[in-house]
Structure 1
Amino acid sequence: MNALKELSIRAESESPIIVRDIIKPGVLKISKGKTVQEAARLMAEKNMGAIVVTENEEPVGIVTERDFVKKIVSVGKDPEHTKVEDIMSSPIITVQTTTPVFEVIDLLVENNIRRVVIKEDDKLYGVLSQTDLIGNMSEQCIVDGIDRFAKPKRKHDLKLGFTYFIEGVKKSYDVLVEHVTSGKEGLIITTENPDKIRAKYDLKRTPFLWLTNIKAWNTINPKDLKLLGDSVDNFLGVAKNGVLLLDGLHELISSNSKEEIIDFLRELRKKVSKSSSTLLITINSEDDDEYYVMKSL
């Protein structure tokens, strides 16, 4: 059973998760005739990553931080003289607060989009993103329980806030499994099919982020370091005494430049150092690129 079907079954149970369960009311909006500069100022003031574009108070588009980078910064446009309607993504998909979450996931995957606009009856309610969903499902997995909870004596002691490079995939999972089965909260970032890993290590509840070009609710394109970083932030913000395993360094390096990955991992280690979690990174020291990245950190 793949992760999307698994989530759909959970959402269609007796107590289905609906949009209102996972998002608080609050939406940033701007008229389509306003400038990109004005939109950027509003987003910065409210610390929000997206703004809904309206016409006569009806949502007609959406502008995100990614749009600023791709459609303004990278092409040298002047945000003060560019209107938001010129860079907005349109048309948008709108759902109600009572919509089951599994339906929203299907919409995101089928339409290859990252966000939907939420309404409550006829009023704007908020914006729900792929990152919100991944973070919520990570939290749900933590709240639901921990794999095979017990407290045996551990062979590998991990210090909170530390990063460990572990040689070899098997050893990495041995360390992770030892800790999640003794009560720690876990998150696995991997290039392998999560269903196979779940079966191999009997990890029924530990959440996964799958680095792949396949589109599903828990997948992330390895080139999308922003989404990956946001998803990890969600886990670090929720987990207490957590263990994060990154088993996909080679794929990240192949999909980005080594310098980008070094910067990404430096920032990740900094965030982990201020958290109550531990970071494990699988390393193959015979891989020149992986070894270079590790030595550069």
Structure 2
Amino acid sequence: MNTLRTIMKNKDSTEVWSVGPQQSVLDAVTLMARLGIGALLVMDGEQLVGIVSERDYARKIILKGRRSETTPVSEIMTADLQTATPGMTAQHCLGMMTEGHFRHLPVIEDGKVVGVVSIGDLVKCVIADQQVVIEELERYVTGG
């Protein structure tokens, strides 16, 4: 079973992208679009205070007729976050995310953000793990 530490080491980008809570929603959405990502951590200095996603934008700005230029990220972010530690398994975190209906999981070690994993990162890892097991079983069954 792969842990988040292993997954983060193997990711193409280990950069943790964030915005401040008082930045405008427009700033956050512009950064997400430029980076091709679906969510940003909301950091007050070194302190993780929330996460803001494209879904937050769609549901809390667009559908409510608010202005992204004047609304601060703090008004639409998710502040009640679940987090993970680097030693947690992909399978465990995938279960957390499925049950909690969220797609991005901040990874915390010693009180500091060390990364973010997406549900796509975890699914890719679980599929790779299962492929290894399938290949081992095929070799066992065929005597190879």
Which of the five TM-score ranges fits, normalised by the shorter chain? Answer: 0.7 to 0.9
CA distance in 1, matches of 2:35, 2:132: 29
CA distance in 2, matches of 1:30, 1:128: 17
> Are positions 1:49 and 2:34 aligned together?
no
The structure with the largest alpha-carbon Rg is 1
Aligned partners of 1:18 and 1:99 also within 8 Å: yes
* Alignment TM-score, normalising by the size of structure 2: 0.78
Q: Which of 95, 114, 119 is the matching residue for 1:125?
A: 114
SS state of the match for residue 90, structure 1?
A: coil
**CA apart distance, 1:140:** 2.6
CA distance in 1, matches of 2:101, 2:35: 27
SS state of the match for residue 97, structure 1?
A: coil
Computed over aligned residues only, the root mean square deviation of the Cα atoms, in angstroms, reads 2.3
SS state of the match for residue 77, structure 1?
A: coil
CA distance in 1, matches of 2:138, 2:96: 34
User: What does residue range 113-262 of structure 1 map to in structure 2 within 5 Å?
Assistant: 113-146=102-135, 148=138
Aligned partners of 1:53 and 1:60 also within 8 Å: yes
User: In the comparison of the two structures, how many residue pairs are matched?
Assistant: 134
**CA apart distance, 1:129:** 2.5
SS state of the match for residue 79, structure 1?
A: coil
Quickly say closer, same or farther: Cα 1:17–1:114, change in 2 above 3 A. same
SS state of the match for residue 96, structure 1?
A: coil
User: Aligned residue for 2:96?
Assistant: 107
Q: Which has the higher contact order (CA 8 A, sep 6+)?
A: 2
User: Aligned residue for 1:22?
Assistant: 7
Gapped regions of structure 2 (runs ≥ 5): 140-144
1:239-261 Cα distance to aligned partner (Å, 9 max, x none): xxxxxxxxxxxxxxxxxxxxxxx
User: Aligned residue for 2:81?
Assistant: 92
The aligned amino acid for 1:31 is G
Gapped regions of structure 1 (runs ≥ 5): 1-15, 150-297
**CA apart distance, 1:113:** 3.3
* Alignment TM-score, normalising by the size of structure 1: 0.41
Aligned partners of 1:54 and 1:60 also within 8 Å: yes
